[in-house]
Structure 1
């Protein structure tokens, strides 16, 4: 039974539908101009009048010309509590890990009550502007702003930025039956140090993000890495020199040390791409690189979307075990939810789970220090 399209007699159009309509027209447009018939096609697809679709597109073009991300807001606003306090996320990010290691310290630094800090954090951020980076060794023998989808399921952004090999070209030192001496060969870089990582981030990863990033989403991007020694610091001078260029604003953030693994690459992405690569035979480094690249290309954006939901599920489990590594990866029947078209973009967290984690963070420091590292719980709460 087909789903009945939204009627045109509804006077209030959800903000989400307006933005999806605008995003669809953006995908169809070239240099800010949509092809003939596109407005009517979008109006029919989203169940609105042609005049409404024209108005939404006109508003989107004005935002594009102003150099801001497209965000169509509804005209009708519901009742809002005037006394509801929203934490300033920018101020929170400016604090050091120690300054926000528990509720009491964070409340003191923000000059608010502890209860104020604890309230209003019951849903994870969709993570559409978070890029996870990490290294992965692939062997010839067996031993990644998250995808964006339109309302009709069309892939707007596949969530894959690129895959960059740590290799170098060197002339062959000896002659063999396969090639003469001096032939340029691909060799793996044996030591991936800070200089190598900095060059990869600045010369490859950031340009690739700029080239593939959707035009209609926030250009403030958080690059998440673990605390491995080769990774650069957030205040690295060379990184800061390119962090705010071409309208983008890049930030580097690290997982708290000794905390549970909260990197989607380790949680599912590397596992998925390794399984694809294992099915291909490689007789040399060049062939291995081709296999890994083709495996990267074959990886479905729907798989990546599910991995990000797995990450949010893991964050909830981390809250339940007070930042410990002893938790099981949750299963939420994502395949069934996908078939039912009810797969969420972000998971909600039970209020009781958050309150229990907040109560744990409020324990005296000398008690907390004898337990598992709490920074993972702090990160999961959303500070």
Structure 2
């Protein structure tokens, strides 16, 4: 059959109902790039050849060599077996087998993202390094560089469900770069959105009232909220919850330092150490509410949120509890001989119900919380409950030694020399004395320092619905609190006293972390900490 008579530089006058007979087309004798055409197989037209012209971009045409190669069947004997050719290229064939397997797995597990280009979509797909290297290795195994034989790109494109242009581009990249590593993606070094630089030192210049939220701080710095939040997650600045402190006068600060010095043993010239504080009993009161106004829960996506209701948010049922603790005792084997939990005494009273209700009949004895605690009530609790509990649970070998009950300076507390208390405390050969901690110093009481917070966390794990349940849950949390953690709170108080002396009686300090749990696990937890001489001398100079 004679060659078809049409000009390759003009639009192809093709009859799509009658496919072209490629056997009848004569070979082009000149260089392939002189044609100025890319030959791209359109898999969506049932094998019909189409022409697309790309003016000025001869490099994108990797199929130009097809015209020089002629029919692929004519060159089959020249290429030989693909395995023999793979041996000529050294490690390329072996590496190709590995890449083919990796690419097959990648296509099976998500390679579908790269298959939509052949169906007419114009968005350029992204291909992983494994797929591109596998395609290049298949091309090496089926042709002889630097010429890509006709039909090879089509075969490989069908195997990996990609377009021929992708295959040809991968071949060209590998040939220009001189090896299989040239087909790897180059976007890993400098790609994506550029990082927005934020001057973190500028945060210090923003007033505190303008940086209470991420949005306010972002507006003050002139950056987006998302960019600032990313820096927060990276740790460039931190969130701080600031709590109110008691205001301290100069006399209060000196009283705090004097209290800390009184807790030290004078071992001059050696560094002084804190007293073990075995003979100190700490007492304090705390309100326990039936529930919190705001409670956090973790729910399933399809789970309804809990329904909680009270008659008044400002008058939630609550009970005041007087807690009495001392430092636990352990023998030489680490066995607890005295847990230090002397008692937990709620301020409640019992009376008969005055009216009938759906919950109980009239006249049934009900428990009610005391709405106010006076000095007389405090005296009765000390004499009738606290002192008997101390005498009952105190270690027998320490009976007769001085015991100090430390209370805060609330107006409802009895004086340290109250006659009724002194008489009851000195009875039966006991030497129990009442002392007061420095004013505005909750950090010098182990209950306020950590014991109450731990008990409250355990308490809120339950859901009490009346006064009796509140008392029951508080007592259960008090009894279940671990003894070893209670002992570590006393060491925390000693570290706080060192910080107080450093700050000359101030209260703005961070509670130091001494890794007490780790020391306890290794058997190296001390009974008392040593106070450095420079801190001791500074405290002595401060109090004059």
How far did residue 183 of structure 1 move?
Answer: 1.4
Give the whole-Å Cα distance in 1 for the aligned partners of 2:441 and 2:340: 25
User: Are the equivalent residues in 2 in contact too, given 1:118–1:358 (CA < 8 A)?
Assistant: no
User: Are the equivalent residues in 2 in contact too, given 1:103–1:117 (CA < 8 A)?
Assistant: no
Structure 2 partner of 1:155: 336
Give the whole-Å Cα distance in 1 for the aligned partners of 2:515 and 2:388: 36
User: Are the equivalent residues in 2 in contact too, given 1:140–1:283 (CA < 8 A)?
Assistant: yes
**How far does the alpha carbon of each residue in 1:69-127 deviate from its partner, in whole angstroms, 9 at most, with x for none?**
xxxxxxxxxxxxxxxxxxxxxxxxxxxx99x96999xxxxxxxxxxx999777111100
User: Are the equivalent residues in 2 in contact too, given 1:260–1:318 (CA < 8 A)?
Assistant: no
Structure 1 partner of 2:354: 173
User: Are the equivalent residues in 1 in contact too, given 2:271–2:530 (CA < 8 A)?
Assistant: no
What are the equivalent positions in structure 2 for 1:143-222 lying under 5 Å apart? Answer: 144-217=325-398, 219-222=401-404
Tell me the secondary structure at the aligned position of residue 161 of structure 1. strand
Q: 1:318 aligns with which of 500, 519, 522?
A: 500
Residue 149 and residue 118 in structure 1: after superposition, are their counterparts in 2 closer, same or farther (change >3 A)?
A: closer
RMSD: 2.4
Residue 361 and residue 285 in structure 1: after superposition, are their counterparts in 2 closer, same or farther (change >3 A)?
A: same
- Structure 2 residues without counterparts, runs of 5 or longer: 1-250, 259-265, 294-324
Residues 1:124 and 2:274 are matched in the alignment? yes
How far did residue 175 of structure 1 move?
Answer: 1.0
Residue 349 and residue 175 in structure 1: after superposition, are their counterparts in 2 closer, same or farther (change >3 A)?
A: same
**How far does the alpha carbon of each residue in 1:156-175 deviate from its partner, in whole angstroms, 9 at most, with x for none?**
10011010010001222221
Count of residues paired in the alignment = 254
How far did residue 261 of structure 1 move?
Answer: 2.9
Tell me the secondary structure at the aligned position of residue 216 of structure 1. helix
- Structure 1 residues without counterparts, runs of 5 or longer: 1-96, 105-115, 363-383
Residue 293 and residue 326 in structure 1: after superposition, are their counterparts in 2 closer, same or farther (change >3 A)?
A: same
User: Are the equivalent residues in 2 in contact too, given 1:102–1:361 (CA < 8 A)?
Assistant: no
Q: TM-score with structure 2 length normalisation? A: 0.45
Tell me the secondary structure at the aligned position of residue 134 of structure 1. strand
Give the whole-Å Cα distance in 2 for the aligned partners of 1:230 and 1:271: 23
Residue 263 and residue 314 in structure 1: after superposition, are their counterparts in 2 closer, same or farther (change >3 A)?
A: same
Structure 2 partner of 1:90: none
Q: TM-score with structure 1 length normalisation? A: 0.63
Tell me the secondary structure at the aligned position of residue 156 of structure 1. strand
Structure 2 partner of 1:284: 466
Q: Which of the pair has more CA radius of gyration?
A: 2
User: Are the equivalent residues in 2 in contact too, given 1:280–1:291 (CA < 8 A)?
Assistant: yes
How far did residue 203 of structure 1 move?
Answer: 0.3
What are the equivalent positions in structure 2 for 1:89-100 lying under 5 Å apart? Answer: none
Give the whole-Å Cα distance in 1 for the aligned partners of 2:331 and 2:534: 33
Tell me the secondary structure at the aligned position of residue 135 of structure 1. strand
Give the whole-Å Cα distance in 2 for the aligned partners of 1:135 and 1:158: 20
Structure 2 partner of 1:371: none
Structure 1 partner of 2:287: 137
Tell me the secondary structure at the aligned position of residue 326 of structure 1. coil
Give the whole-Å Cα distance in 2 for the aligned partners of 1:120 and 1:227: 35
Q: 2:446 aligns with which of 251, 254, 264?
A: 264
User: Are the equivalent residues in 1 in contact too, given 2:256–2:441 (CA < 8 A)?
Assistant: no
User: Are the equivalent residues in 1 in contact too, given 2:443–2:493 (CA < 8 A)?
Assistant: no
**How far does the alpha carbon of each residue in 1:228-254 deviate from its partner, in whole angstroms, 9 at most, with x for none?**
111111110100111212221011110
User: Are the equivalent residues in 1 in contact too, given 2:328–2:486 (CA < 8 A)?
Assistant: yes
